């Protein structure tokens, strides 16, 4: 598995001004296990993550996945590509409060396959795996922060992704809960033999990573 970025640039508009969030970033990710993107706030970590995962477009440069250029795909093809190959975990969970836990986990699979029964069956299996099997019918509003992040981990796995992108996944958790979630996440990444690219301020995430990429001012400062 290989993800390659070549000279990508990303700009945001701030009123009448333009802010360059990424400055000619080039990198290669190849079966790296757990990768930590670290750096100060505003360094471009989350922006790079969102561009790699095709959530945000780039202004210039190229992104390749297993030899296929993916940044230039149309919107519909990008959506299909994300659903079939990538999983996402967000700092604020991005769960739908009106749906049950199992419905939240199954939703990406339903979008991809349209098979509700099979998607929910696999979602229940994943909830068992993350230790929430007995919670599948509850609303997410009834869960703690750590439990919600476990639901988000299960959801990220439901379409059997090749890469998981996680944006500050422990930022809203206390240290004990964060450690438990990281244990689970690290275990799943190893067992599934997938790559996880994580933006983080959490030194524990960096300590556990197979590879650390340091960012500053929209550029890669150090890559290990």
pLDDT along the chain (224 residues), means of 10: 95 86 95 91 94 96 96 94 93 90 94 88 93 92 91 94 93 87 88 92 88 94 66
Q: What is the pTM (predicted TM-score) of this model?
A: 0.93
Examine residue 46 and state whether it is found in any structural domain, yes or no: yes
Examine residue 132 and state whether it is found in any structural domain, yes or no: yes
Examine residue 45 and state whether it is found in any structural domain, yes or no: yes
pLDDT confidence of residue 63: 98
Examine residue 160 and state whether it is found in any structural domain, yes or no: yes
CATH of the domain at 80: 3.40.50.300
The total of structural domains in the chain comes to 1
Query: Cβ distance 196 to 164 under 8 Å?
Result: yes
Report the C-alpha gap between 216 and 146 in whole angstroms: 30
Examine residue 169 and state whether it is found in any structural domain, yes or no: yes
Examine residue 8 and state whether it is found in any structural domain, yes or no: no
Examine residue 181 and state whether it is found in any structural domain, yes or no: yes
Structural domain range at position 166 = 32-54+75-223
Report the C-alpha gap between 129 and 184 in whole angstroms: 9
Examine residue 158 and state whether it is found in any structural domain, yes or no: yes
Q: What is the DSSP letter of 70?
A: -
pLDDT confidence of residue 60: 96
Q: Which residue has the tokens 């990508």?
A: 8
């Amino acid at each position: 598995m290989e993800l390659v970025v070549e000279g990508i640039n990303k700009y945001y508009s701030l009123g009448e001004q333009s802010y360059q969030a990424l400055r000619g970033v080039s990198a290669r990710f190849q079966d790296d296990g757990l990768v930590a993107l670290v750096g100060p706030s505003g360094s471009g970590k989350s922006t790079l993550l969102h561009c790699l995962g095709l959530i945000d477009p780039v202004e210039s440069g190229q992104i390749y996945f297993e030899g296929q250029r993916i940044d230039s795909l149309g919107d519909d093809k990008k959506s299909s590509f994300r659903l079939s190959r990538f999983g996402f975990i967000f700092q604020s969970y991005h769960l739908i409060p009106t749906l049950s836990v199992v419905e939240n986990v199954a939703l990406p699979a339903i979008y991809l396959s349209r098979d509700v029964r099979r998607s929910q069956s696999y979602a229940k299996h994943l909830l068992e795996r993350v230790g929430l099997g007995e919670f599948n019918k509850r609303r997410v509003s009834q869960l703690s922060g750590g439990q919600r992040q476990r639901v988000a981990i299960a959801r990220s796995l439901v379409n059997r992704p090749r890469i998981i992108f996680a944006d500050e996944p422990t930022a809203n958790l206390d240290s004990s809960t964060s450690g438990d979630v990281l244990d689970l996440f690290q275990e799943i990444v190893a067992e599934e033999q997938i790559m996880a690219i994580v933006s983080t301020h959490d030194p524990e995430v960096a300590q556990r990573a197979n590879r650390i990429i340091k960012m500053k001012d929209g550029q890669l400062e150090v890559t290990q």
